Structures are given as structure tokens and as C-alpha cells.
Structure 1
Amino acid sequence: MLEGARRTAHFRVVIVDGKLRHVLKEIKEGNEKTKWKDTVPYAYWKGNPFVTPTRKDLMKCNVTEKDDWNTHLCIQVLYYIFINSLSTNYSSQRHNLYVVYVFWTQDWDQESSQGYKKSNLGDQCTHRYHVPKIYVEGWAWSVSEKYILACDSTTLYVRSGFHDFFVRGMVPLEHYWPIRDNSKCRSLKFAVEWGNNNTDKAQAIGEAGSKFIHEDMDMDYIYDYMFHLLNEYAKLQRFKPTIPPNAVEYCPETMTCGVDGTQKRFMEDSLVKSPSDSNPCTLPPPYEPNNLQDFLEKKANSTRQVETWEDQYWENKKRGQL
């Protein structure tokens, strides 16, 4: 969704290549392995918390003997750092579950040599809520966002300062559940409690987010989007691009010559072997200001609704009514 553009802008074109098709197929198969009602009724996050303060803050939501925030958080970093592996057993009488919480690190060199078996995205859709099943941003844009949303699990989306192009078309309570950035643990606790008490609604949110990624993010639509985006930016240019005299043309085969292994396979997977047999979709007219404002208010109101429910939940808990 193109909501607007500045006359001058820094922008990045992310080519969602053949790897996306392959991974989404694996995730879809993973969704079918576990029925939603049989998924673990906890929020799950796995990643590197040391790249940004908001991720470090997320680690405060670890389950302890004193607090259970309804989360399973796993550290996944390049090297084994100073934190030792440990586990805490927690018995939940309410769900009659025996949950083992593991706080761990991952050796990426070893994982690479073993074919990334423990990092297969298609096998990570077993939890009911993902915060990126929890989604929380890193230094900037995160490649994992679309894969997390592709799970049928309800995505618990920690408020972010960065936006992928497709997120602007997604609506809280319809495609994902919004999480406060300044009160993550309480937000996560309430989100999981609400979902476990409203399983049909939570499942519908997860499935709508997954459908959005699998269908509305079809590669043909992505290429159409890139075509129109580049054309619209080209109209803002104040000069005529020319090929420098000593420029050397790079063909796809040249680009793959210097690489091998997985990198080469992904490049070959994304190679377009023939032109499209149809024209790109027609770019719809810009939003009327009132229509755009209505859509943005709908998103803001949905987020405010969740925050109101959450505030009421904690107020009732404080009064001993829960």
C-alpha cells in the first residue's frame, strides 16, 4: 500500500526471491502438522536479544518461580556468550500442563554444518501465539516478519518504529494482536489469557494473518508492486539516467559465478527464466484523504481497544476480581 511519498527519499527494494516461495511452502506444511487446538498455549520467541534495547527488555518476560508471563523465550545468537544454559520447570495447574522453559544459546557454525535443522522455519509453528509469534524488531527492518505472520499462530506484534511495505495494509485484531512496547510483559500476559479464553477469535486472527501472507503476498503481486514503486520514484527524478562509457553489463550468470552452496542455490531459485505472460496490475488511484484517514483511524481504534481491555484486566486483577 502506497500511502504517500516524499520528493526525496531513501528507500530499499527488498526482492522477495525464490527462497520465500520455498519457505512459505514449508511453513504451510508445518501449519498442517499441528491442529490449532493442540498447539502450546504460550507465546513463543526465539532470536538474538542483544542487538537492540527493545529485545533485551523482552527478556524480562522470562518465566520464573515468581512470575509467569505466559511466554517461552529462547536466545539464538551467533556465538555462545557468557550466559549459561539453564532450565526452569514450571507446573501450571490451570492448563494441567508441565511446561519446561529453556533459556539457551545456539551455535550458528554448528547449525550451518548440520543443515539448520533446529532453525527450520517450517517446524516453528507449534505454539499458539508468536511474539515474532512474538514479533519484536531488531536494529531495523527484520526479514523474519513475513515468516512469523505466515504461521497460523496468532502473531503478537510488539509496536515497531519500522514498517515493511505490506504491514501498512494489515489491521490489528484482524491480522495480528498489538503489544505495547513500554509494557511488554503485562501486554503479553493479557494477550495469551485473552486468546486462551477466546480461542475461536484468536485462531481467526492467526489464520487471517497467515492467509494475508500466503495469498495477498503472492510473488506476482510483489513484482507488480516493485514495478509500480520504481516507476513512481522514477517520475520524481530530475535527470535522465545514462550508462557510463566504461560500464560493464552484468548478466544473471555473471552474478552467480563467484558464489556457491546455499547462496548460489537461492540465487538460481529466484532467477526469472521468462517474461510474464500478462501485464502488471493497474495501479489503483491514490486514497482520497478522507478514506485514508478512516483506514488509519480504524487501525488506531483497534489498538486502543486492545489497550483498554488490557488496562481493565490488570485493574480487575489488582482488585482481586480475577
Structure 2
Amino acid sequence: MGLKIPSPVSIAISFFLLLGVLFAGFQWLDQPISAGKWYFFRNPFGLTHSSDDLPARPAAEDCPGVCANTTTAPEVRPFPSGPSCPDYLRWIHEDLRPWNRSGITREMLEAGKKLANFRLAIVGGKAYVETYRKSFQTRDLFTIWGILQLLSWYPGRIPDLDLMFNGGDVPRVLAKHYRPNKGLMPPPVFHYCADDASHDIVFPDWSFWGWAEVNIKPWERLVKELRAGNGRRKWKDRERSAYWRGNPYVSGTREDLLKCNLSESHDWNARLYIQNWDEETRRGFKQSNLADQCTHRYKIYVEGAAWSVSRKYILACDSPTLSVKDRYYDFFSRSLLPGQHFWPISADNKCPSIKFAVDWGNSHPQKAQEIGKAGSSFILNDLRMENVYDYMFHALTEYAKLLRYKPTIPSAAKPVCSESMASTESGRVKEFMIESKVEGPRNAGPCALPPPDPAAIESLMRRKKESVKQVQRWEREARDRRNKGT
């Protein structure tokens, strides 16, 4: 039988069918994708040094769940103030200090657009979001989710406000570009961390409601698991060394830390493990359960591209945290004291500093256990989820007091609410949302925010410096004795 040549009619039909398929495909590609779906297209395991270099995406493709009904105002349930807030909430006043005299104008706010991933407005107890750039993984999604839970936790209690949010790694409002005392005001931008050279307004990070890409559970469940993990092995029975597991390729200081690992020529009392998240995902996260990592007498904290969300997990292990001198702080860490909640490690001399810390702790087990317990108690007790919500409540309330204009709904913003956001998700994203959803209004008021107290802040900073100097003196004395052979 000879080869059958298609007729011109069948060729034409096939051609138009192919066009139709391609057109439908392009139409599908052009459909709006919610913020929650974007994480399937992001690379959570890339060895980049920062997540701040991601390209912008159109705001229309990033609405994290649109709410159909936003007309009903939430019922306000007044309650008396609770007990005094944990000490770390007093830093809210410090973060807002640049705008104390001038207040915040609409022009100041909109100047922060170039530094922000999204804009959030709360008007009449409802939230509205305008997205400028995508955040790494689902940071933006879970940050917005957390704010929505706050609105349900304290319905009608959050004043109208308008803010910009940076969802990247590093602070963006660099102090060197602004001079508040000369009228050159920084734009107010919320962020997960800051340092002494920036004016970012610090706010709790997304992982308190879950980090879906790496299977880190919402904070309330994880706290219970960490408590249970602490009880599996007594401190005296744990490995007599310092433990760290993570991705070292996000910062130079982490790569430098790897030099302290056990080798044929050195034992710096450190046991360091590279976490390959791509491999870990394929294996079902069997080697990354945080509650299973309380196995060593000491844990190491070291920054990544900026601060690291791992700080709270590391501190929660009842083992003294050996904290490599850091540059960045999150919303709670400024109230942690060296020598009380953690042990300071030199950034420039990591390996000998780690070895000395472990040797000192093993020689002073009672004191070492006290430091481990104090750090763990701070995280498991002072950082309870209700305190996280109270921090958010007071940070937003104090911020709103500074606004010198009446907040309105931005023209390009979309309404967001918990129900619509969760309904558009699937997998761990949806699981973590459902798990971290608050159950109705809280039956108590927020804690009482302490007033500004610059003298107390200054005293705390002096205590920190003196504690670090004391440890440095002990290290020098030990080095001198070793060099003299005594």
C-alpha cells in the first residue's frame, strides 16, 4: 500500500485545530494566579544569596483570594487590657521613633513603593492588598494571612491604616539615604528584620503561620512538638558538641562556619551538616524535623542572607545557643541577653570561639543548662502566639497613630479575607492555613504596652556589651594559658 498524502482540506482542518489548541494554551497561561499558587513556580532551593532579586509580577496576577462581601463591619468586643506585655514589645517605640515628630504623610508612604512587595490597607476592619512584586516562596501569602488572623483575633480593634511591606531578606530603608533631623524623612516600610543602619519597621515573619515549602509547621503546633522533643534526651546525655544544620550557601559567614567542622586535623567541638532542601523534599522531610534536633548539648545560630527564622527553633532546644555575632535583629531578639539567653560567638574567630564555649559549658554544666533553659523558656513562653498577635496589634496601632491622613482603599487594591484565601489553596499551604486559623475573637484584651523608656533601652544595651566583653576576656585568658602551656 502506498503512502497516503493528506488532502488540502484535512491539512487546513489540522492547522486550525492546532491554532485553537495554542490559543487556548496561551489563554490559560495568561489567567490570573493567586499568590498562593505562585510558590509552585518559585525555587525554594536555589543557592542565591538573596531572595530580593526576583522580578516583578503584575498586581492583577497576585490577589491572594478576593472576598465577595466586605460591607459588614466587624463587631467590636471591648475588653480590659491584659497584663503588662513582654519586654520585647517596648522596641515598637524605637522602630517608630523616626516619625514621632513629623508623623507619616501619604507622600512619605508612597515613597516606599519602590522598596515594598505589597501595600496593605485596613479600612473599617477589612483588609485590602495591592501587590507590586512577588515575594520569595509564600512569604507574602502567609504574612497577609497572619494579619487577617489578627483582624479576627481582635475584631474591630485595629484602626484604619495604610502600610508598605518588604517581603525580602534584607532591610531596604537604609539610614544613610535619609536625615530625619534635616527633614529628609525615610519612608515607613514594614519588614521582618532591621539593623543599626536601617529604618525598617520590624514585624513578625510569615513562618509563625507555617512555612509550607520546607514543611515547618505553624508555631502553636511546633511549640508543642519542641517541648516534647526536649524531653526525649536529658541535657547531660546529649552529644557533648555544638550542632548546626542548614544551607551554608546563602551567606559568607555561613560558608566560613563550615571551616569549624570536624576534620582529620581539627576538632572545634562543632558538628555541622549541609541541608539539601531539594533532596529533603524528595525524601519527605525525614531529616529536617525540628523537634528531632535537640540531640546535642549546644546549638549554633548563624545568620543567612540577613536574619534567619531559625533563631527561634534553635533557641527552643534547652541547649545553650552559641550565637555567632549577628548584624540583624527580628522583633523579639533585641531583648535576648548574652550570657543569660545565649552564648556569644566571635564572627571573626568562629572556630576557637565555638571550641571555648563548648569546653566552658562542659566544665560548668549547671551554668550551661541555666543558659539553655533561659533561652528555651523565652521562646516557648514569652513568644507564645497570643504575644505575637499582641505585638502585631500594638505595632499597627502605634503606627496608625502617626498617620497624618485618612487611610482609604488604594484604587488597585483587592479585598482579602481568610475564607477566600484558604479556599483557593491546596496541599500544605491550605493545611497550614486551616491549622493556624484563629477560632473567633479572643476573650481578653491585648497586653498593656509599656511606655517609651529610652533609659531602659540604653541600660539593656550596656548590659549586652558588658556581657560580650566578659566572654571575650575569658576567651583571651584561656588562649593565653594555652600559649603558655599552663
Question: Which residue, out of 287, 292, 309, partners 1:123?
Answer: 292
Correspondence for 1:11: 190
What TM-score does the superposition give when structure 2 sets the normalisation length?
Answer: 0.57
Correspondence for 1:42: 241
Q: How does 1:213-228 map to 2 (within 5 A)?
A: 213-228=379-394
Greater Cα offset, 1-10 or 170-179: 1-10
Summarize deviations over 1:31-51 as a string: whole Å, max 9, x none.
Answer: 000011100000011111111
Structure 1 distance, partners of 2:410, 2:358, is: 58
Q: How does 1:1-322 map to 2 (within 5 A)?
A: 1=88, 2-3=90-91, 4-5=94-95, 6-7=98-99, 8=186, 9-12=188-191, 13=203, 14-15=205-206, 16-17=208-209, 19-79=218-278, 107-111=279-283, 114=284, 116-131=285-300, 135-244=301-410, 248-287=414-453, 289-321=454-486
- Runs of 4+ aligned structure 1 residues displaced above 6 Å come to none
Report the CA distance between 1:247 and its aligned residue. Answer: 5.0
Structure label with greater radius of gyration: 2
Amino acid at match of 2:475: E
Report the CA distance between 1:245 and its aligned residue. Answer: 5.9
Report the CA distance between 1:144 and its aligned residue. Answer: 1.1
What TM-score does the superposition give when structure 1 sets the normalisation length?
Answer: 0.85
The 8 Å contact of residues 229 and 291 in structure 2, kept in 1 or not, is answered as: yes
Correspondence for 1:84: none
Change (3 A) 1:242 1:53: same
The 8 Å contact of residues 280 and 286 in structure 2, kept in 1 or not, is answered as: no
Compute the RMSD of aligned alpha carbons. Answer: 1.5
Amino acid at match of 1:291: A
Summarize deviations over 1:148-199 as a string: whole Å, max 9, x none.
Answer: 1111111001111111111111111111001011110011010000001000
Summarize deviations over 1:106-133 as a string: whole Å, max 9, x none.
Answer: x13323xx2x1211000000100001xx
Structure 2 distance, partners of 1:141, 1:63, is: 26
Amino acid at match of 1:109: T
Structure 2 distance, partners of 1:292, 1:248, is: 40
Structure 2 distance, partners of 1:175, 1:272, is: 30
Change (3 A) 1:238 1:192: same
Report the CA distance between 1:319 and its aligned residue. Answer: 1.1
Amino acid at match of 2:435: D
Summarize deviations over 1:253-276 as a string: whole Å, max 9, x none.
Answer: 211123211111111111122011
Structure 2 distance, partners of 1:279, 1:123, is: 36
Greater Cα offset, 219-228 or 241-250: 241-250
Amino acid at match of 2:289: N
Summarize deviations over 1:57-92 as a string: whole Å, max 9, x none.
Answer: 10111112211100101011235xxxxxxxxxxxxx
1:249 is paired with a residue of what secondary structure? strand
1:73 is paired with a residue of what secondary structure? strand
Report the CA distance between 1:299 and its aligned residue. Answer: 1.1
Report the CA distance between 1:284 and its aligned residue. Answer: 1.0
Summarize deviations over 1:262-298 as a string: whole Å, max 9, x none.
Answer: 11111111112201111111111111x3332222111
Structure 2, unmatched stretches of 5+, are 1-87, 100-185, 192-202, 211-217
Report the CA distance between 1:23 and its aligned residue. Answer: 1.1
Change (3 A) 1:302 1:244: closer
Structure 2 distance, partners of 1:204, 1:173, is: 10
Structure number with the bigger relative contact order (C-alpha 8 A, sep ≥ 6) is 2
Structure 2 distance, partners of 1:67, 1:245, is: 62
